[in-house]
Amino acid sequence: MGGFSEPRIVRSGGYVVHVDVCEELSMECVGEMHKLYYLVKMGLAEAIDEVVPGVTSIAVFYDPRKIGGEKVASKIRELWWQRKSVELEDLHKPKRFTIPVVYGGDFGPDLAFVASWSKLAEEEVVRVHSSRVYRVITLGFTPGFVYMGEVDPAIAVPRLETPRTRIPRGSVGIAGKMTGIYGLESPGGWRLIGRTPLTMFDYRRDPPIPISPGDEVQFKPIGPEEFERLVGVFVGDYGS
């Protein structure tokens, strides 16, 4: 899986331990990273402030009044070997989310490019993209942004060479092996193929986004009329 026999652990600046799980993205790697993420959250709960998953790594922010960096690193190594005896479903029962999306047109200005690049009709790109159940890899780089994988290799298009300065919230894009949802309006360089009307992030909610690493997402094509009807519906309320 392009991983390490044991994670590469580096003490970063401040009270942070960075853990590289593997060298390149694969869903096998993501599964191992998620197991370590949830094991660290449980096994070091009393001594850490936060655990942040990346695409192939995690960052562990610890409280130096409760534990030292070397002890954190040692515990992470112990949990890494412990992960072999557990399944991800034992640590986190994945939730399934359906995300309605209008594909193409003003909602997905790069759909035509993806179709041309993949040598597929636009309708076939939509079918391919919406037929998979994706695993949530991580959240970030802005609140509510959801990274998911892997897309079908046929539509795994590269990012834009020059990022856009403004992308509407709810936009659905592709960047290489990943597909993602922009939770808020922001700059970005992913190829936009559609947009969801759902609100992906609401700071007034607890939690502000109900989606977690390891959860599952499937996209559902809809028309503009249904988009207007669903504008503002919170992602955690849709379909419930």
Q: For the chain, what are the domain ranges?
A: 3-91, 96-230
Cβ atoms of 64 and 51 within 8 Å: the answer is no
Q: pLDDT, tens digit, for every residue of 177-201?
A: 999 999 999 999 999 999 999 999 9
| Class of the domain covering 3-91 | alpha beta
What fold, for 96-230? Cyclophilin (2.40.100)
Cβ atoms of 238 and 100 within 8 Å: the answer is yes
Q: pLDDT, tens digit, for every residue of 21-67?
A: 988 889 999 999 999 999 999 999 999 999 999 999 999 999 999 99
Task: Name residues whose C-beta falls within 8 Å of residue 59's C-beta, 6 or more positions apart in sequence.
Answer: 12, 16, 17, 18, 19, 51, 52
